[in-house]
Structure 1
Amino acid sequence: MRVLLVEDDPTLQRFVAMALEDDDVRLQACISVDEALLALATQRFDLVISDLMLPGRHGLDLLQTLHKRPELRAGARLAVFSAGINPAVREQLEALGVTRFLSKPCSLADLESCLDGLRDAPANVATPSIHQAAIEQYFGGNTALYQAFLARARLQFPNDIANGRKAWERGEHHKLRHLAHSLKSVLLTLGHADAAAIARQLELDAQQAAEGSEAADDAVRSAWPVLESALAKLL
């Protein structure tokens, strides 16, 4: 199970880490809404536990963003530390999908209750039928081999997103072209033809932008965020 903890109190972070270390949980902690959104854009989690009082943006901002963008939440269960909230706020949080409310200090039993049912939930490993052609063409019909390749790609995609974003922000068109070329092949092999087509066009535009084309530079600026979003959905 993958758990995202959004909490700026290091003492509480350590308590949650110690409480969940024997529960086959991979815990990732962050201290702000912006850090949490970046993590959610590049990874999938089974459970998100968030404080409401955070440095910078309020925890409610995170929950509202996940409500508006369900692809970021990706079905994760939501829990909040709720010390001192009134019934109206609790009702608002429930409307945003929060199903667990944890007090401060938090008990071990309350934390474990957040995990109830997640252990028994079927893993999301089914291979979509639209990818069957890719399995037949590139993996000789071996679904297990496809799943292994997909798992490795998902480990690499966060690095690709970070490197691509950096190259895009700096206008490093040669680096972006090289990355798009690589992603085009990977995405096509995985059966994501639409995303592969975006990467292919970005590769062509980045090459032309590197040669001085202003129109291609504008196209690159528009195309990379679309490709980045497509990669995030595959994590």
Structure 2
Amino acid sequence: MAPARMLLVEDDPMLRRFVRMALEALPLELLECDSVAPALQILAAQPVQLILTDLMLPGASGVDLLLHLQQHPALRGTAKVVVFSAGLTPETRLQLAPLQVWRLLEKPTPIAVLEQCVREALAVGDDSGGDSPPPAAAPASDRHVAIDQYFGGDAELFHLYRNTCMAQFPHDLAAGDRAANGHDLPTLRRVAHSLKTVLLTIDLPVLAAQARALESTCHTGAPDAAARDWPLLRAALADFVKNQGSAQY
């Protein structure tokens, strides 16, 4: 039997990597894109059984994607939709309620929760062996909180993901600089929105809080405040990258 097919709509390459890592053991074909237009092209070309989408995307939003699928049900077919977002406010949840969303996952989501959600959506069994004892846990003092919370205690997986983030951060800094210099608040907000999740996932809660504050500032449309908040976040993140993650925050 052919493996189930899943479409991931996520503009942040680090979070696409996170999803790939979470689902690599599952028998599924993972299709990826970074915005709504290519997602619709993929759906028009081949059916999928599951759509996992962010809400804040460049151009059309994830809500726009869901509205389009509601208006063109043949395009969606029988696919379940999971919204994977760090912006699940009460207002957003109300907006999503009539759009046939199967489940909501709030970023950052532990790998185990994401994997279990996809297993349930696709009715994929767990072949790991239910009678196998869990791996021995390392002493709590030897682990970051994020390794336990988001990676199920798997330090190797955490460091693999963290290395991906380290390679991506210079690109995020450049994107933030371009947006700040061009007074492009929507783009700067997307940069901050992605960073707040990624930074929390790799155990940098103070930087994540700075990114969250910048996102809020951009959302209110305050250019002076954004011009103040981006340099603060930029300096801290650049320092972290320069020191290869040795700085303590």
| Structure with the greater alpha carbon radius of gyration | 1
